[in-house]
Structure 1
Amino acid sequence: MQSQNPFFDDLARVAGGAMGALSGLKAEMEAMVRQQFERVTASLDLVTREEFEVVRAMAAKAREEQEALEARVAALEALLAEAAAAPKGTAPKAKAPPKPKT
């Protein structure tokens, strides 16, 4: 649709061209920021999710083993205290705790 005044038609074309240029500039800026972000994260020496999950599982297993060993040491200390308190020549009544599964 053409208006009575060609000035407004030209102004509309210039505004449309400026909007197209700005949207292109926006896309280019986003690509540059994304590229810079990827470059920075690559230089940070981050671990992958899979590596993190493996180490997490290892830590959970180590924690369980440590808790089992703490319980075993506590039982052995109780047995030792009982043996020290008993008169000489008598055997303690409690059995040694079972070894943890490995």
Structure 2
Amino acid sequence: MQSENPFVADFVKLMNSAAGTLAGVGREARENARERFKEFMGDMDFVSREEFDAVKELAATARAEVETLKARLDALEAKQNTSI
């Protein structure tokens, strides 16, 4: 048999309300922290992996072209120096 003590019933209601409020505060704090983290990361200049790989490939191609042109220039300079 359960007794209906108004003090206990009010205390239980108060604790349930407090638990709900704390859960809401925790949820709000978590969402706020997540939003701030997104803002922080959004302000940084990150690139996607695809963009990075594309630029890396362009740099490798440019480096190879520079080496080819350098070799041609060295050959032309050597040829010019021998003809003088």
Does residue 71 of structure 1 match 2:71? Answer: yes
Higher RCO (CA-CA < 8 Å; seq separation 6+): 1
> Structure 2, unaligned stretches of length 5 or more?
1-14
- Pairs within 5 Å for 1:9-88: 25=26, 29-84=29-84
Superposed CA offset, 1:14-70 (max 9, x none):
9xxx8xx58x83x65444333211112213343222111111110110011001111
What is the aligned length? Answer: 65
Question: Residue 47 of structure 1: SS of its match in structure 2?
Answer: coil
Bigger Rg over Cα:
1
Structure 1 residue 75, shift from structure 2 partner: 0.8
Q: Distance in 1 between matches of 2:75 and 2:58?
A: 26
Q: Distance in 2 between matches of 1:28 and 1:60?
A: 48
> Structure 1, unaligned stretches of length 5 or more?
1-13, 85-102
| TM value normalised by structure 2 | 0.59
